[in-house]
Structure 1
C-alpha cells in the first residue's frame, strides 16, 4: 500500500508544482520558498532539535502554549516549527520571531522527507492535531526519531474519509510512540483507525491553555472608546464563503432594532477580503476596513478586519461573538478565543471540528447553537438587547474555559518521559 501511495504521490508531482505556481501568484514572497516543499533549505546547526508541526493558523495558535513550555523547559534544544500554509507561516513569525526555526513541511515524497530530516535532525517530533503522512512517519521510524501526535483530534467525517486508506494509515500510526488525544471520543477514533491502544491517552485540549494576548482586553476597551462606548457590537469571526451573506443579512435585521449597531467581520482567508468588501458595499452598508482606517467611526455600520492575527482585541471589543465555519459544513473554528475573554458565543449547526468543546460551552451556558442561517440575526439581537443575559453567558463561557485548562502540563509530562527514555 505504501509503495502504491508513493507512486501516486510521484505521479501527482506535476499537479503539486502547478499548485505552487498558483499560490505564488497569491502570496508575494512564496516563490522564494518553493524549494522548502522538497526539503531544500539552508538551516543552522539543528542537531538535537525538537520539531513541532502545525499545519495552519489554528494549529499554530493551539501549539503556542506548548512551544512556550518547550522553550522554557528545554532552552538549549533548537526548536523547529513547520507549517503547510503561508498564513500559518506568518503566524509563527508573529508569535515567535527568530526564537524558532521555521520551514515549510516538505511534500510526502521519500527524497523530500529524507532531506528534511537530515537538515533538522530532530530528537523528537510533535505533530499537532491530525496530520498523518505515511512517508514522513516511516522516515522518522527508520531514523529512530520518537514521534508523538499532540492535541490529537479526529472527526467522524475524517474517520469515514480515511476508510479507503485504513491499512496504510494503520501502518503509519504504528510508527507513532504516543498519541495525546483531546478527548475520549478522539482517542476512540484513533484506535478505530488502527493506533495501538496502549499508545493512546487523553490529555485534553491545548487550546484551553492558550494565553490571552497581553494587552488584548485593554486594546478592546480602547476600540470601544473610539467608536462609541455604548454601541452594541458583534463580531463574525473566521467566516467562509456561504456565510458572509448570511452574516450581513443578520446585521440588516439587527440594524432595524438597533440602528447604531456595529458589525466586525473577519473572513478566514485573506483571498476573501476583497470579495467580502464588495458584498458589504453592494448591500449599502456604511463601512471601513482595518487596512485603511484602522478603527471604525461612529457612522460606520460594518468594519472589515482584513488583516491576520488580530482577532483577540476585537473579540474583547465585541459584546457577542459568532464563530464561522459553522453555518456551512466546514466544521467550525476555535470557540475558545471569545470564551477566554468572557464573550457569549454563537455557532451554526456544523461544529464537528470542535464538537466536544462546543458542546461543553453550550451545556455550561456560555454558547448557543443557531440551526439556520436565517435565525442568526434574531439570536444576535436577543443578546444585544439583553445585557444581563449577555454578560451571564460570557461569564459562563469563561468558567468552562478555566475548568478545562491543564493540557500543556499533561503533554509536557509525556514529552519529558519520552525524552528520558
Structure 2
C-alpha cells in the first residue's frame, strides 16, 4: 500500500507538477504511512463501541451501495454538527422529496443522533478517510448531485474528487476559529486548492468569512448566511415536560443544570453543587456528560462524593430526596433545560471550545459558560454582551456564580428573556442556505 501511494508522488516530483499538487500528494503519502496507527485506533475505538467496530470498513469506502443516483449528501462530523444540520436536512426532505438523502458522520454518537432524528428516512454512512481509493469508492456508491459539508471539514482529496466528478460543493454553517486557522497553516496551499473546488461557503459570521479569506477562499465564494443553529427545532412539548418534572420534584426547590460536560469539569460542577447545598439543602443538580462512555465514570464520582443520586437509565426521573440526577442518555437535554432555573454549558471550563448555548437560550434560561468558548465564539459573545449569559472565570468561581443567580430571581428572569430574544432574532439562516442550494441545483 505504501508503494502504491509513493508511485504517483514520485512521478510528480519528476514530471514538473505544481507545488500545490506536490504538497497534496505528499499529504496523501503521509496518510498512507499513518495507516497502521489509523487501523489501531479503529480497533481500540471498536472495543469501546462494538457497533462502530462492525462498521469500521466504511471508513475505507467499503459498504453496500444503496443504489442511489443523484443523492443529496450532507456531511456532519458529530452530534453538534448533526443538530446544527437538522433543520436544513428537514428542509431538503421537504423541498426534494424524490432525492435520496445521505448523511455521513465520523463519530458513533453522530450516527446515533442521525438515527434518532431521521430513522430510516435517510441513508447513514461513516465518512471515509481522506485516501483517494476510499474517497472514490465512497462517491461511486452514493453518487451525489450535491455535497453539503457542515461547519469545518476540509479534506483535500475528498474535495478534489468531488470537483473532478462535477459534484458541486457547499460548506454550510461554515465556521473557522483562530485556533483552526492556525492548525491549517502547514497545509495552507493544499487547503487553498481544496477550497477552490467549493462553489459556496455559507459562513456563520463576518469573522468566519474573514478567516476563510485568510485561508485562501475567494471573496466571490463566500456569503454570510448566519448560524443555522438558531433555526433549531424547539420540541413543542419541552416546556410542558419541564413544568411537569418540576411539579414532581417540588416547584420551589432550586434546580440547575450542567450540560455537555467533559473530563475536568464534572468535579468542578459537583464541588459547586456542594456550595449550593449549603445555602439550599433541597437543591437539585442535573448533570449530562457529553460522551456516553463517561456516564459510568461520572456516576461513580457522584457516589464517591456522597451525594444522593438518581440516573435516567435506572430511575427515569429524580425524586424529592435526590441531590444529583445523571442524564445518562443522548438527545434529552431540552425538557431538562426547561425544568432548570439556569444552565451551565460545558466544554468551556476546559479548552474544548464550548458547546451549544442556544438550547437553554431558546427556552429562556440564563446561561453560564467558562472562558473557553471558541467553538461558539460569536453566539456566546452575543449572549454575554446583551446580558443573556455570563462567563465564569474559573472552576473555583462556578459555585459562587450559580449560587448568586439562584438567589436572584429577578436577574435570572431578565437573563432568560434576553437569551430568548437573541435566539429569536437571529433565526433565518436555513432559508438563506436552501435558496443557495436551489440555485446550485438549477445550474
TM-score normalised by L of structure 1? 0.99
Distance in 1, matches of 2:140 and 2:107, equals 22
Look up the match of 1:210: 232
Look up the match of 1:32: 54
Question: Where do 5+ consecutive residues of structure 1 fail to align?
Answer: none
Q: SS where residue 291 of structure 1 aligns?
A: helix
Deviations 1:256-312 (A, max 9, x none): 101100000111111111111121111111111111011111111011111111111
Distance in 2, matches of 1:44 and 1:10, equals 28
Task: State yes or no: 1:176 paired with 2:198.
Answer: yes
Quote the offset at 1:110 in angstroms: 0.5
1:382-393 aligned within 5 A: 382-393=404-415
Q: SS where residue 292 of structure 1 aligns?
A: helix
Look up the match of 1:414: 436
Deviations 1:11-44 (A, max 9, x none): 1111111111111111122222122111111132
Quote the offset at 1:369 in angstroms: 0.7
Deviations 1:63-84 (A, max 9, x none): 0000001011111111000000
Look up the match of 1:316: 338
Distance in 2, matches of 1:170 and 1:30, equals 33
Distance in 2, matches of 1:315 and 1:20, equals 35
Task: State yes or no: 1:126 paired with 2:148.
Answer: yes
Task: State yes or no: 1:307 paired with 2:329.
Answer: yes
Work out which of the residue numbers 15, 18, 21 in structure 1 matches 2:40.
18
Task: State yes or no: 1:252 paired with 2:271.
Answer: no
Deviations 1:95-123 (A, max 9, x none): 00111110000111101100110000000
1:2-401 aligned within 5 A: 2-401=24-423
Structure 1: 4+ residue segments shifted above 3 A: none
* Range with bigger deviation, 151-160 or 369-378: 369-378
Larger radius of gyration: 2
Quote the offset at 1:354 in angstroms: 0.6
Deviations 1:126-155 (A, max 9, x none): 000000011100100000000110000000
Distance in 2, matches of 1:46 and 1:35, equals 20
Distance in 2, matches of 1:92 and 1:271, equals 18
Quote the offset at 1:407 in angstroms: 0.2
Q: SS where residue 419 of structure 2 aligns?
A: helix
Distance in 2, matches of 1:44 and 1:218, equals 41
Distance in 1, matches of 2:256 and 2:188, equals 43
Aligned length: 421
Question: Where do 5+ consecutive residues of structure 2 fail to align?
Answer: 1-22
Distance in 1, matches of 2:271 and 2:349, equals 13
Q: SS where residue 103 of structure 1 aligns?
A: strand
Distance in 1, matches of 2:305 and 2:36, equals 42
